[in-house]
Structures are given as structure tokens and as C-alpha cells.
């Protein structure tokens, strides 16, 4: 996975067998903190293996040479049967690199439950629009989510006060096109709010009971 061993070899290793001392093991922390140690990455598998390799490198991603050995091969361009010719060509002549854009995903977690109770949010019965009371003194109501389009709930319903959470950013990940959210050991139903764009706008909310 890396050519760093060839750089660090010394005359003391000349008497060793060709494979002795040439194998190095990597960790996820090494990939994040020291991506410059890797000349290029070889993956053996399907698209999931390529996505995992991309996720390992959070700042700088070395070129990835993917060989198809999985069920899905949209991202694996090379046949494993030709691995020797492909590897020799990549090392001797270089390879053409396709640059891909990645998503930056930030996870926010709720904090200060006492403060959350002091903020109010209301879902309008007639339109489905969600409004939140501003924290500023004398502030009005701010629309967080647009109402229903076309035919929506009929008139006559009652506005409903809904749960309001204060959050803070805790983790940021760079991913190619796949992000999995797992609730872990928590037995409770999770509520997720998805924001996108810059500045961020609420895309939607979802309640989930599985990872």
C-alpha cells in the first residue's frame, strides 16, 4: 500500500531476502495524519472498498488503483486478471488520475437540555410550516421548514408545539458519496435533521429506529 519501505532501506538489508523488511502495516490514524507516506493505494474488492479507502484519508487522498473483485464495480476500472501489467505500467509510466469531488459532512449533537426547554418551536396545522422563537430579546418567529406544497392539511387543525434542540458540531468527515449513520447501543428512536448548502438550509427531518 506504500512505497515508504523503499525509501528507508539501508545497506544493512542488502543481505536479507527480497521480501524481508519490505512489508509495512498501516493504521487509520497514519492515513489521516501522514498521507504523504503513501505514493498510491491499491484496492482489491468492489465499490465499497474504494469508498472505505477514500474515507481513510480525510485531508489528502493519494491516487487509488482499484482492481475489480466485488459485486459492484462502478468505481473499479481495472480487471484483476491484468494486475501485473497494470501495476508495472503504473510504476514505470504513471497513470491517468480522475479527480473526484468529496462531500464534507459535519455531525451536530444536542446539548444543554435546560436551554432547549426555553426555546419554542411550533408546527402550523394548516401549512405544516415549522417556526422557532428567536433567542434575541423581542425577536419574532423564524421559519425553519417550509410548509406543504399543493394540497395539504385542511383548515381547522391546531398548531402543535414540537421538541426543540440546541446542537454543537462534534465531528467532520470527508466522504466520496456514501455516509452511514449508526445509532450504536442506544435503544431509543433517533431524530436526524439534514442540512445542506452554504449557508446551510434544512433539507428534512427523519426518525429512525435502526442503524
Name the 3-class secondary structure at 49.
Answer: helix
What digits encode the pLDDT tens for the residues 95-131? Answer: 888 888 898 888 888 776 665 555 567 777 666 666 6
pLDDT above 50 for 86: yes
pTM: 0.59
The parent domain of residue 122 ranges over 104-208
Name the 3-class secondary structure at 123.
Answer: strand
Phi/psi region, residue 209 (left: phi>0; alpha: psi -120 to 50; beta: rest), is alpha
Check whether residue 64 and residue 122 sit in a common domain. no
> End of a domain among 100, 135, 166?
100
Q: Do the beta carbons of residue 179 and residue 55 sit within 8 Å? A: no
What digits encode the pLDDT tens for the residues 26-62? Answer: 888 999 999 999 989 999 999 999 999 999 998 899 9
Q: Which three cell numbers stand for residue 112?
A: 444543554
Check whether residue 145 and residue 165 sit in a common domain. yes
Q: How many domains does the chain have?
A: 2
> End of a domain among 100, 119, 136?
100
Amino acid at each position: 500500500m506504500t512505497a515508504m519501505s523503499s525509501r528507508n532501506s539501508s545497506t544493512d538489508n542488502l543481505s536479507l531476502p527480497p521480501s524481508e523488511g519490505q512489508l509495512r502495516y498501516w493504521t487509520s490514524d497514519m492515513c489521516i495524519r501522514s498521507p504523504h507516506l503513501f505514493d498510491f493505494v491499491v484496492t482489491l474488492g468492489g465499490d465499497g472498498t474504494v469508498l472505505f479507502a477514500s474515507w481513510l484519508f480525510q485531508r489528502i487522498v493519494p491516487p487509488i488503483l482499484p482492481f475489480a473483485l466485488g459485486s459492484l464495480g462502478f468505481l473499479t476500472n481495472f480487471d484483476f486478471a491484468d494486475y501485473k501489467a497494470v501495476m508495472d505500467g503504473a510504476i514505470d509510466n504513471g497513470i491517468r488520475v480522475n479527480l473526484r469531488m468529496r462531500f464534507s459532512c459535519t455531525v451536530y449533537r444536542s446539548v444543554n437540555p435546560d436551554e432547549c426547554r426555553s426555546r419554542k418551536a411550533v408546527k402550523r396545522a394548516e401549512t405544516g410550516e415549522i417556526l422557532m422563537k428567536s433567542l434575541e430579546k423581542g425577536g419574532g418567529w423564524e421559519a425553519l421548514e417550509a410548509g406543504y406544497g399543493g394540497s395539504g392539511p385542511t383548515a381547522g387543525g391546531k398548531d402543535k408545539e414540537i421538541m426543540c434542540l440546541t446542537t454543537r458540531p462534534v465531528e467532520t468527515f470527508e466522504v466520496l458519496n456514501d455516509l452511514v449513520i449508526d445509532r450504536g447501543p442506544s435503544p431509543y428512536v433517533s431524530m436526524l435533521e439534514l442540512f445542506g448548502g452554504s449557508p446551510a438550509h434544512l433539507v428534512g427531518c427523519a426518525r429512525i429506529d435502526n442503524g
